[in-house]
Amino acid sequence: MKEDKRKPLSQIVLADRDKGTSNRNRSYILLSILSQRGQKIMNKKKNLFILVFLIGSAATLLPTLGKILLFTTAAVYLFMVFDEWDYNKRNGDAK
């Protein structure tokens, strides 16, 4: 099986810079572009980790919020039923 003999672009750029060839200016430009791309990728990775952390934190609150919503709804419903029963009892319309 043949091995891939291509070198990564960053390695070629460093080799051109070390040789002192006429491509020296070009190699500095390419190296600066590569380093900027690396920084953008790192920023994306950092942002991804932050996003995952925030989504995970919000997801842990969902069961708590669900319980609060369920019990609050039940309490309001029971209060409304009791209030209607009490109103009917006071006015003599109780069944």
Sign of CA dihedral 65, 67, 73, 75: negative
Residues 6+ apart with CB under 8 A from 2: none
pLDDT at 79 over 90: yes
| Rounded Cα distance, 6 and 3, in Å | 9
pTM for this prediction: 0.42
Structural domain of residue 33, as residue ranges? Answer: 9-90
Q: Note the pLDDT of residue 57.
A: 86
Is position 1 within any domain? no
Element spanning 41, H or E: helix 24-90
Is position 2 within any domain? no
pLDDT digits (tens, 9 = 90+) for 48-58: 888 888 888 88
Is position 4 within any domain? no
Average pLDDT, the chain: 75
pLDDT digits (tens, 9 = 90+) for 16-45: 555 555 555 556 666 666 566 656 666 777
Distances in Å between the Cα of 65 and the Cα atoms of 13, 72, 77 are 55, 10, 18
Say how many domains are in the chain.
Answer: 1
